Every structure is written in structure tokens, then in C-alpha cells.
Amino acid sequence: MNNKVIQVKGKLLSLQSPIVMGILNITPDSFYAGSRKQTEVAIHSRIEAILSEGAGIIDIGGYSSRPGAAEVSPLEERQRLALALKIIQADYPEAIVSIDTFRADVARFAVEEYGADIINDIAGGELDTDMFRTIVSLKVPYILMHMRGTPQAMQQLTAYDNMIVEMRKYFADKIYELESLGVNDIILDPGFGFSKTLDQNYELMARLKEFAIFNLPLLVGISRKSMIYKLLDSTPGDSLNGTSVLNTLALLNGGDILRVHDVKAAVEAVRIVGKYQSFQSTNINEAICGCTSE
């Protein structure tokens, strides 16, 4: 299996160069107020910005996963998602769309009714036991994230004997189950900010390369999160610079997809890191062969 390629819309999507996933929140209570879009005009404008700034995927969420977020019914979640999906279906049919949901019925609705392409499940199938079987029948890529408990209670579940070892065991078990069922395209998300303390988030970033053992694409979502603004005594609104720094570290440590609010800045990070790494490769090759490029 080539870990840098997934099948989307009947075609192969290459991740040889990292890509950016732009966040579209159809919610009134996401932790970053600037990301909340609830009218057709605002949603349309956000979609246009995500695509024009260079994102390869649009990730749409109708249920805030911030700690202590209010419960949202499946019906309301579907209605929120439909606002954006109708616009994309009509005006941007070639866009690759990911649905941020842990509910199997919502996933099925988005894929079968509106042609959504990827399911992004923060719960790894733990909050809906039908999710894995649903992914099998839908035949779409699945983003498998690490989290303990629920969004409402996850930050009370941060005690680990060895966090990285336990996360790798979690992923190994889930991947085995998914592949046994016939799921071919799996993307891993280590779940920054989910059931992890500030220090644990930075340990996770420092050890991100240890998840390369699974030979699967790695998604990193740290955009404007508390690991930035709590460390810097700031706010989500003032966390763009910190986000860019962490996105750069993620790319250097093997990240393939950056899930972000600020697409342009992330695309620039991808380009800069790519240029830097191209010279790293050149220098390594020269050292091995004892030659130069001149």
C-alpha cells in the first residue's frame, strides 16, 4: 500500500506533497469565533476563500467538538451540513469535501445525498458503533482520530502510563478492525487537544514521526488551539503565528494534511518547508556520492 495516495472521487489523490484542509464550521459555538459561518452568504464566501487560497480539501462540521460544547441533535447536524453541501454541489462540484462527524447516519446522509468524499471521525468509531460498517458500505476514505471519552468530558481523561505507546496501540487495533472489514483508505489524526494536556500536546508534536510505523497518511489539526494560546497567554484570535510555527514543525515531522482555519498561511508553510526539504535531499545525496550539483 502506498501511504501517500488515497482514492477520492474515483481518482487517486497524491499526498507526495502535503496538502491543506480548510475548516468550514456551520456552528454557533466553535472555539474560534472567526470560523463560525451560519448564513448562505457567509458559507459561500468561506468556500470560495478556502479554494482560492489553495486548499485541497474542505472539512465541514456541524457539531462543535470543543470541550464543554453543547449537544446537537442528529437532525440539526444534518440541517447545518446541508446548508454548505447544497452550495458545494451546485457551485463547486469538483471540490473534495470531508465531513467532520462521529455519527454514522450523518455520514451516510452527507455521502449519499450530497456526494461528500471523506468522513472525519473524531471518535474513531467509539461514539457510534455503526460507523465502521457504514464506512465500508460508503467506500470513502476515513480519518481515524485519537480521543478518549466525549468532547464534553475528554479533558478529564488525560492520565496515561505512556501516551505514545497507548496511542499506537489504539491505532493498531482500530486499523486492524477497519482493514479486516475492507476499508482501504485510512488517514490517521493523533488528535491534538483531544484528551491531552498542554504538555502532552507538545510531547506528541515532538514524537510525531513515531506514527510513521503505520505507513498511513497523517493529518495534523492544531489550528489556533489552546496548546498555542494557553502557552502564550493569548486568545484563539491571536494565534495565527503560533499556528504557522506548529504547522511547520508538523510538516518537518511527517504531516501530510494540515487542517486549518487560515488556508493561505498553511499553503505558504507547505511551500516553504517543501523548498527547504528539497535542499536537504540534495545535500544528503551529495554527501553520499561525494559530488556536487554544479
Burial-class residue 267 by CB neighbours within 10 Å (0-12, 13-18, 19+): buried
Query: Would the pLDDT of 33 be above 60?
Result: no
Q: What is the pLDDT of residue 130?
A: 97
Fold designation for 17-265: TIM Barrel (3.20.20)
Q: What is the pLDDT of residue 40?
A: 86
pLDDT band at 67 (very low <50, low <70, confident <90, very high): low
Structural Rg of the chain based on CA atoms: 19
Phi-psi region at 54: left, alpha or beta (left = phi > 0; alpha = psi -120 to 50): left
Beta-bridge mates of residue 8: 11
Query: Would the pLDDT of 168 be above 80?
Result: yes
Query: Would the pLDDT of 280 be above 90?
Result: no
Whole-angstrom Cα distance, residue 122 to residue 112? 21
Q: Stretch 161-182: mean pLDDT, rounded?
A: 97
Q: Stretch 46-74: mean pLDDT, rounded?
A: 87
pLDDT in tens, 184-235: 999 999 999 999 999 999 999 999 999 999 999 999 999 999 999 999 999 9
Among this protein's residues, is 259 annotated catalytic? yes
Q: What is the pLDDT of residue 151?
A: 74
pLDDT in tens, 112-128: 999 999 999 999 999 99
pLDDT in tens, 244-259: 999 999 999 999 999 9
pLDDT band at 91 (very low <50, low <70, confident <90, very high): very high
Q: What is the pLDDT of residue 137?
A: 97
Q: Which of 133, 259, 264, 271 is catalytic?
A: 259
**Closest Cα to residue 66, out of 141, 147, 8?**
147
Comparing 39 with 241, the larger pLDDT belongs to 241
Q: Cα 260–123–115 angle (5° rounding)?
A: 65
pTM above 0.85, yes or no: yes
Q: Which of 46, 80, 108, 225 is catalytic?
A: 225
pLDDT band at 149 (very low <50, low <70, confident <90, very high): confident
Q: What is the 3-state secondary structure (H, E, C) of the chain?
A: CCCCEEEECCEEEECCCCEEEEEEECCCCCCCHHHECCCHHHHHHHHHHHHHCCCCEEEEECCCCCCCCCCCCHHHHHHHHHHHHHHHHHHCCCCCEEEECCCHHHHHHHHHHHCCCEEEECCCCCCCCCHHHHHHHHCCCEEEECCCCCCCCHHHCCCCCCHHHHHHHHHHHHHHHHHHHCCCCEEEECCCCCCCCHHHHHHHHHCHHHHHHHCCCEEECCCCCHHHHCCCCCCHHHCHHHHHHHHHHHHHCCCCEEEECCHHHHHHHHHHHHHHHHHHHHHHHHHHHCCCCC
Give me the percent of the chain exceeding a pLDDT of 90.
77
Q: How many residues can be counted in the chain? A: 294
Residue 104: half-sphere exposure toward Cβ, Cα within 13 Å? 15
- Tell me the three cell numbers of residue 232: 502564550
Whole-angstrom Cα distance, residue 2 to residue 15? 10
Among this protein's residues, is 209 annotated catalytic? no
Lowest mean pLDDT among 101-105, 146-150, 162-166: 146-150
Please state the domain extents for the chain: 17-265
- Tell me the three cell numbers of residue 36: 463560525
